[in-house]
Structure 1
Amino acid sequence: MDQIWLYTLMLSSIIPLFLFFLPNLFRKQNKKAPPGPKPLPIIGHLHLIKQPLHRFLQQLSSQYGDIYSLRFGSRPVVVISSPSIVEECFTKHDIILANRPRLLVGKHLNYDSTTLGAVSYGPLWRDLRRITTLEFFSNIRLNSLSHIRLEEVKLLAKDLFNKGRNEFVEVEMRPKFSELSFNVIMRMVTGKRYFGPEVEGLEEAMVFRGIARDVFELSGASNPVDSFPFLRWFGVWKVEKKMLDVRKKMDDFLDGLIEECRRNGSEGGFDAENRTPMIYKLLNLQESDPVGYSNQIIKGIIMIMLTAGTDTTSVTLEWALSLLLNHPHTLEKARLEIDTLIGKDRLVDETDLHSLPCIQNIINETLRLFPAVPLLAAHEPSEDCTIAGYYVPKGTMVLINAWAIHRDPNMWEDSLSFKPERFEDKNGDEYRLTLVPFGLGRRSCPGVPLANKVLGLTLATLIQCFEWENVGQEKVDLAEGFGLSMPKAVPLKAMCKARRSIIHTLASI
């Protein structure tokens, strides 16, 4: 009896695997696939994977070239780390490669893959792109909400000033940058602060923080079911249950938030001066188009803003300040530029950023060395195509290794060194294909203008207002940690003190 049960279990495991790999058995022999290491049966190349993944993939590219193939379980993967091939992908094949792979995180945490980041290319994606571009990332909308970004940066400066008014104090910067990023996005979207000392609804804020933490953890975690879909039939992985639990909490929270904002809107919450948080604009549009602006669409927009616009910003700020602490001459150069052009009688403002090229060069160089998303969001061809002369079948996961491109010595002189001056006297077209932290093509990140404003304003304010030093004699450790947005392995701690020449300005915040 035990043998019969064992044979039944083995057959139930082998048959699904056979069905998954059957198409590969009949692939046309005259199709030239990208090179790559020899896979093992069933698991493919998963046994080779090492962390951090972007470094491991770069090592493979040195062996197999700028385009090569892997297999993660039953999922075929093509990895690209060449600007010329990236250009081919997002010009010749831009529409074909505009889909996203169907992943479990998209199903459960991105509302059945209906958010801007997870949805397949088509009418819904075009509607979502239009909504976010017009209602959130247009110059008019960003300018109308500039007061939120300025207030949050001032609150950060005030907090640091209170700690280090007269002497250097040690500050852990990661939570500071994280709270700033979350509050900027959530105030622009909902009008509410959820972090820091001036939070009104503490209980609601605590619930939100827990949900946000769970979403980030599950979004960045590897999921065996994505590589071996048949495992869902056996129920051996608990990750899906965790996602369902978080989805329920997220739904309840966002439903309550939408209803609260709907009540506030009916009581005069819509601002004629166009300074209204985004959710009120969406609810207003929902009245005339209930289907196009359904609650699920609104919740999906909030979630994609949360996941795409917060962690990436805080991580970049942490890397930027770490690099400046290790290169004090660059920090002093940026401070001199600010003192010369802005002075010390007022704080820097967003309107000043265009006249502070040193700050933008620092941001560009930080994004080059430490892109917040080292592997761009995966693409998936909607039909068979040929890339760089190689056959890439429909359904393949296409990964762009931005980290490898940014450090390619053939593209960048002294590619491993921090040299913001490399961007001086250059326009964006000169490094359009070699600096791709926000992606390329129609699926590129629409939030670049907002990211540049938050990064520029925060970095310029910290440089203008404070003296910065390393903790101890050692340089800041620049080792990379694991995660969706490549955090520092060791959170940044720095010594901070208010500059005497600007104390009177800080004290007036």
Structure 2
Amino acid sequence: MVQLNNNELITMVLATITLAILTILWLYKVTLSSPKSSLLPGPRSLPIVGYLPFLRRDFHKQITDMAYTYGPIFKFHLGSKLFVVINTPELAKVVVRDQDEVFSNRDVTIAGSVISYGGQDLVLSSNNSNWRNLRKIFVHELLSNKNLEASGSFRSDEVRKTIKNVFGNIGKEVNISEITFLTEMNVLTSMVWENTSLEGAKGVHLVQDLQMVASNIVEIMGQPNLSDFFARLAWFDLQGIERNMKKTLNKMDRILTNIIEDRVKYNSKKSQDGDGHEGKKDFLQILLDLKDQKNSASLSITKLKALLLDTMVAGTETTATLIEWVMAEIINNHNVMKQVQEELTKVVGTNNIVEESHIPKLEYLHATISETYRLHPVIPFLLPRTPSEDCIVGGYTVPKGCSVFLNVWSIHRDPRYWDNPLEFNPERFLTNKYDYNGNNLKFFPFGSGRRMCAGIPLVEKMTMLILASLLHSFDWSLPKGIEAQDLSEKMGITLKKSKPLLAIPSQRLCDVSLYN
């Protein structure tokens, strides 16, 4: 054993102390220069299954209740999948603005991957050149101000057909969601492939098929899938969700393929006759032209179909759901219905039909729709985001690859930001102006940042026109024996009414010709 003299011992002790001091100073410096973070709070989970056995049917309410226990940001596991929930505007700002680039990817489920052709669409694509190209096409081609203005006649014509159909059912129960969905589908098919030769029975069957397939897609997407929570089980597809979605996609793909082939044949014939398709173009023709341009960004036939599918499904389901909620709230609040109809009488007149030119003047109706979006956001957590790297939110580490929920349902009902938040009060949107573009994160039903919904301009026009026309043309009441509309909710991919709204229209305008 080596023996140390006193000087050597003292030297060793001093060296040890010096090293310890330097280490402490280094750690202190690193701590100051690095963001402070800690593990996310959250409920205890069972081994393997995580929090899955404790989920309730009213999942959106359960998640909001958990925020009172665990704070404005927390986590929970479903199987091997980690979920992080954001419950305040301040923390939402970190996700959609401060670190928008990091959080701009989607967490795609197995069903979502199937229906988006492997994430090649606009809604579920990763934040990459494909997504940027599709968004540019969607925003600047289909939903440009010029094209929205040009397609106004499609919207007006289809809404007039709906009013005529409702008039034929005066005194009878009308399913609000069904008539809205059909109106939206007819508008979109006209905008997307107006010039395709689908007339008569062929056109009717097309709309019916599209409506059925779109409904199936939404239903399947809203089903919790064990394969998403347990990766090792995905191969077995125990619930048949992947299998059912593939069948549904095949049906939609056949419809889209037939439409595209029909258009290509039509264009070929016109070209042989020396008559091109110059002038006004529908969305399908614009996409086909872009696909054929050698110098354009890559737009394959699969991506073209994926974009058409997004348009038909997202554009119908969300609007029909929202309009049903608006009508339910209005029917339950007679004073609101009175003020909406008084405004319509003043702006439109009782000897006239609603036109899109009236819409900017209908401030109270717009406020009523906004208040409905506040209380009943159609997608209560928006579409989940997933961070591309570990990051810090609210002092906590949010791991790469987890699924992040922005709980707008909770934020829209938080008494810290809203007076009497559970009260349906459109006036709050007359005194405090909020838009749908996510500029104020106390109210962002369409999201915010680069992954905000791209279809807001069309949704806003359609929602206003349909509601204004229904409320201007008819008085509405509930079936006999029902005093108030049930406002309970059913959670799926969208937040729908648990029971469909059946309402009875009665003639409001004296001139019967206004219903034709």
Asked if TM exceeds 0.5, the reply is: yes
Q: 1:33 aligns with which of 35, 39, 57?
A: 39
Q: TM-score, normalised by structure 2?
A: 0.87
2:513 corresponds in structure 1 to 504
Stretches of structure 1 that go unaligned for 5 or more consecutive residues are 1-29
Q: Which amino acid aligns with 1:178?
A: F
2:290 corresponds in structure 1 to 285
Over aligned residues, Cα RMSD in angstroms?
Answer: 2.3
2:21 corresponds in structure 1 to none
- Checking the alignment, whether the CA contact within 8 Å between 2:228 and 2:234 is kept in structure 1 is no
Q: 1:258 aligns with which of 243, 257, 260?
A: 260
Q: Which amino acid aligns with 1:110?
A: S
CA distance in 1, matches of 2:236, 2:210: 33
Offset of 1:378 from its aligned partner? 0.2
Matched, 1:304 2:313: no
Change (3 A) 1:235 1:397: closer
- Checking the alignment, whether the CA contact within 8 Å between 1:199 and 1:205 is kept in structure 2 is no
User: What is the CA deviation profile of residues 395-431 of structure 1, one whole-angstrom value per residue up to 9, with x for unaligned ones?
Assistant: 0100011111111111111100110011113333797
1:221 corresponds in structure 2 to 223
Q: Which runs of 4+ in 1 moved over 6 A?
A: none
1:462 corresponds in structure 2 to 470
1:75 corresponds in structure 2 to 81
Deviates more, 1:198-207 or 1:137-146: 198-207
Matched, 1:437 2:445: yes
CA distance in 1, matches of 2:301, 2:402: 32
Offset of 1:433 from its aligned partner? 0.9
Calculate percent identity across the aligned residue pairs.
31
2:185 corresponds in structure 1 to 182
SS in 1 for 2:173: strand
User: What is the CA deviation profile of residues 97-122 of structure 1, one whole-angstrom value per residue up to 9, with x for unaligned ones?
Assistant: 00011321232110111111111101
- Checking the alignment, whether the CA contact within 8 Å between 1:86 and 1:400 is kept in structure 2 is yes
2:240 corresponds in structure 1 to 238
CA distance in 1, matches of 2:175, 2:108: 38
SS in 2 for 1:481: strand
Deviates more, 1:301-310 or 1:265-274: 265-274
Q: 1:379 aligns with which of 379, 382, 385?
A: 385
Q: How many residues align?
A: 473
CA distance in 2, matches of 1:179, 1:198: 16
Matched, 1:149 2:170: no
SS in 2 for 1:91: helix
CA distance in 2, matches of 1:116, 1:322: 32
Q: Which amino acid aligns with 1:255?
A: T
Matched, 1:404 2:407: no
Q: Whose Rg is larger?
A: 2
Change (3 A) 1:91 1:500: closer
Offset of 1:462 from its aligned partner? 1.0
CA distance in 1, matches of 2:434, 2:210: 38
Change (3 A) 1:234 1:425: closer
Offset of 1:251 from its aligned partner? 2.1
Offset of 1:470 from its aligned partner? 1.9
SS in 2 for 1:344: coil
CA distance in 2, matches of 1:229, 1:237: 14
Offset of 1:249 from its aligned partner? 2.5
User: What is the CA deviation profile of residues 431-483 of structure 1, one whole-angstrom value per residue up to 9, with x for unaligned ones?
Assistant: 72111110010000011111110000111111111111122341011111232
Change (3 A) 1:270 1:92: farther
Offset of 1:267 from its aligned partner? 4.1
Matched, 1:364 2:370: yes
- Mapping of residues 340-359 of structure 1, within 5 Å: 340-359=346-365
- Checking the alignment, whether the CA contact within 8 Å between 2:37 and 2:395 is kept in structure 1 is no
- Mapping of residues 120-139 of structure 1, within 5 Å: 120-139=126-145
CA distance in 1, matches of 2:40, 2:244: 37
2:3 corresponds in structure 1 to none
SS in 1 for 2:505: strand
